[in-house]
Every structure is written in C-alpha cells, then in structure tokens.
Amino acid sequence: MHIKELVLDNFKSFGRKTRIPFYEDFTVVTGPNGSGKSNIIDGVLFALGLARTRGIRAEKLTDLIYNPGHEDGASAPDTREAEVTVVLDNADATLDRTQVVNAAGTENVGDVDEITITRRVKETEDNYYSYYYLNERSVNLSDIQDLLAQAGVTPEGYNVVMQGDVTEIIQMTPYERRGIIDEIAGVAEFDAKKEAAFEE
Ligand code: ATP
Ligand code: MG
C-alpha cells in the first residue's frame, strides 16, 4: 500500500484545490522556506487522523483552514472549511478488502483497490465540526484507525518521523524507548484496547 495522491483544498497555505502526486518508492518535495512543504505532511496527518499525539503544527483544528490574511492577521469570513483527501493504492490488499467494503459500504470488492480517506473541518460562527469519509462515505475516526492499523499506521506510531523526533528518542529513558518498540511491534495497540476494555 502507498499514498498515490494528496488533495489539499483550502488547507493551510493551499488556498486553491491542489493535487500532489506521490510515487511508489520515493517522493521528494523541495521548495523555498515557508513554501508549504511541511504543510503537505500536516495534511497527511490531519486526513488520516494521526495528529492527536504526533502534533500538527497548529494550536487548534481551525487554524488549519486557509487564511488569506494569515500573515497580517486579517479577519476571516463567517463559515470556513478545509478538506484533505489521501488517495491510497491498495492493489496489494494491505488493507483487508472486506473490512473496507463494510466500512465504506462499497458494493464491489474490486472497487477497493483505490481507497480515499477524506477529512473536512468546518468552522461556523460559534463552533467547529470535523468529518471523516472513507471512499466518500461518512465514517468515524475509529473506522479509519482500525483500517490503517492493519498497515501498521497508528496515531502513536512512528510512520512519520517529525523534526526533533530523533533527538527525542536519543534522550528518552530506556522504559520510554521500550514503548516505541511496543508500538512498532504492534503490541501497544492491544495493550491500549485491553486497558479500554477494563475501563468499560
Ligand atoms: P521550511 O523549509 O522553512 O521548513 P516549509 O516549506 O516546510 O518551510 P511550511 O511550514 O509548510 O513551509 O509553510 C509555512 C507557511 O504556511 C507560512 O508562510 C505560513 O504563513 C503558511 N500557513 C500556515 N497556516 C496557514 C493558514 N491557515 N492559511 C494560510 N497560510 C498558512
Ligand atoms: Mg518545513
């Protein structure tokens, strides 16, 4: 499985709908400082619901909505919205087809070679809302998380190595470092589920 394409719409510095292709093995993004390279990674973390513990660089979700006056702090319109879609190539069935079919309500199992995960954040005058979609069908974050866990992609995981992560790992205590190994080995997921079950 790999990311095939990322579609950013009104997200951070991407005021216009922008499609970014990704290649199977290796994709490099280059550009001047402040041109939006890290915002692309933030887009992936946002859409896949991986941002809780790894940290998108924004104080609140609504800061992720494109703000034309970002630099000079100009005021924004009443309803604002941002959307990011991650298009996954699942031709190798890394993600279980039946589970995708069940979660997305797709009729044909053949339809799930390509999986789209979309997240939208919407801000109204006095509140904000966040929605997830799997192949355009509205789902919960937990549906997305259960699916991605099959590919070893979890919010606590180290699929995305952020700036400063390496230094952080070096400075950890052995016990904390063991936690990372549990994550990577896939043990932590079950520990968390066990704990959650005990709480219920
Ligand atoms: P560097 O090479 O320094 O790491 P970069 O290419 O990674 O730069 P980013 O951090 O992705 O750059 O982009 C930063 C830019 O995104 C800043 O100019 C900032 O103003 C802009 N930006 C962040 N949030 C928003 C927003 N909500 N609306 C508009 N622009 C935004
Ligand atoms: Mg950067």
pLDDT averaged over 10-residue windows placed end to end, the chain, 200 residues: 96 96 93 94 93 69 86 65 96 86 71 90 93 93 92 83 83 91 83 90
Residue 44: the pLDDT is 95
Residue 161 CA, ligand 2 centroid: distance in Å: 13
Domain made up of 2-157: CATH architecture: 3-Layer(aba) Sandwich (3.40)
Q: Whole-angstrom Cα distance, residue 79 to residue 10?
A: 12
Q: Whole-angstrom Cα distance, residue 152 to residue 150?
A: 5
pTM: 0.84
Residue 51 CA, ligand 2 centroid: distance in Å: 16
- Show the ligand 1 pocket: residues with CB < 6 angstroms: 12-13, 31, 33-39, 63, 65-67, 70-71
Residue 90: the pLDDT is 93
Q: Kindly state the tokens that stand for 23.
A: 């290649």
Residue 148: the pLDDT is 93
Q: Whole-angstrom Cα distance, residue 99 to residue 105?
A: 9
Q: Kindly state the tokens that stand for 44.
A: 């992936």
Residue 76: the pLDDT is 58
Q: Whole-angstrom Cα distance, residue 48 to residue 76?
A: 26
Contacts of 189 (CB under 8 A, 6+ apart): 149, 154
Given the cut 0.90, state whether the ipTM is greater than it. yes
Q: Locate the ligand 1 atom nearest the alpha carbon of residue 36 and give its number.
A: 11
Ranges of each domain in the chain: 2-157, 164-200
Residue 110: the pLDDT is 61
